[in-house]
Amino acid sequence: MSKFVAPPPGSGLDFESSPAYQRVIQNFEAAAAVLNLDPNTAARLRRPERIVIVSVPTRMDDGSVKVFTGYRVQHNDSLGPYKGGIRYHPEVDVGEVCALAMQMTWKCAVMGLPLGGAKGGVRVDPLRLSYGEAQNLTRRYTAEISNIIGPEVDIPAPDMGTNERTMAWIMDTYSARVGKFCPEVVTGKPVDVGGSVLRAEATGHGLVYTTTYAAEEIGLKLEGASVVLHGFGNVGTHAALAFSRRGARVIAVADVSGGYVNEKGIDVRKFVDYASKNRTLEGVDGADKVEGDSVLTIPCDVLAPAATGHVITVENAAKIRCKVLAEGANGPTMPDADPILERNGVTIIPDIVCNAGGVTVSYFEWVQGGMNFFWREDEIDSRLQQLLRGGYERSREFARRHKTPIRTAALAVGIERVDRTMRLRGLYA
């Protein structure tokens, strides 16, 4: 039976017309051209293997039932089980989820992980849900997708708007449905229910590690360097703490409530604690408040977009004044903005390398869960740095050898690995 049925034109489900999907295809085509990728392989890789769209009826605190839309997209499993986060956001749609699922395939591949690419989401504003409503929604969404996920099939993880508590609910619901304790079905869980140490910090730490590698190449010392973080959720907060420990000066951050600037450096621990307690930075003191996206153009050594995608565009790229652009978010830079940044001497760390710390430690968590044997924090950190450096250096070497931009090179490294595996496996007719 076919895994995918194309939606009729005008149905609202035509992911190929989505701007988010068209952007990842534009980047894919550039890498495929460098590789001289076989057209038959390219045709298969342009489309996801499976798209699942579900209704998620949820009991609200007032007794009413609201119906939300949920998605799970599985792009490619040539390298191993599908892997990818679940995001809760009011603007989630099928095109965005398809785009992110494809990006996960390349991210796992460039990092050398035995995993494929997937992504999921629910179109909901998590900030407007109570604890009980969030749990009800999560458990119903899990029930709706439970027949296509599993520890050897598709392993979800946290993403924007979800966290380790969300993963615990998914794990518990799935375990109840299959009749056994199954911690490996998700990663990013609390340590007490089979999670891994360093998983929560992994994406932020990975951003800082890859920034360190890039800084070494251009002779930039992180101690004393100025850092701007556009995004102050899980990735941004852990990155801010890690930068601060290395002696860097975080001069601006932004979240949904706006931007906060202090040229002398913000009190990172104070800001992190405030955001954790209040869910946003609204009302924090110790910095001047500005419009959120304006922090992107503040002169700095390191700029880390770590929130939503598509924030660096042809309109603002020429105003970006940083030495290193560390893409902690998925797809923060529009394809047409890349040449402008490169002409201005910005060293780019593409998202599929820069934010790969999360999926890398997710892989470690999955392995530990399967063995029921858990590693020490220093072991995980050492393995994380080893794999991140490998992914970064493979991408840099490809870029030098083929004289291509680093983003194209990183994608090409991932695509080449998937292509090689697909050729070895053949096509089941």
Active site residues: 119
Q: Could you tell me which residues come within 8 angstroms of residue 1 by beta carbon, excluding any fewer than 6 positions away?
A: none
CA angle 300, 306, 312 (to 5 degrees): 65
**Three-state secondary-structure class, residue 158:** strand
At 250, the amino acid letter reads V
**Three-state secondary-structure class, residue 290:** strand
Asked if 384 and 357 count as a contact pair (C-beta separation under 8 A), the reply is yes
Of 180, 101, 104, 176, whose CA–CA distance to 142 is shortest? 176
Asked if 178 and 163 count as a contact pair (C-beta separation under 8 A), the reply is no
Q: What is the DSSP string of 209-271?
A: HHHHHHHHHHT--STT-EEEEE--SHHHHHHHHHHHHTT-EEEEEEETTEEEE-TT---HHHH
Largest CA distance in the chain: 63
Asked if 101 and 119 count as a contact pair (C-beta separation under 8 A), the reply is yes
| C-alpha to C-alpha distance for 109 and 111, rounded to whole angstroms | 5
**Three-state secondary-structure class, residue 68:** strand
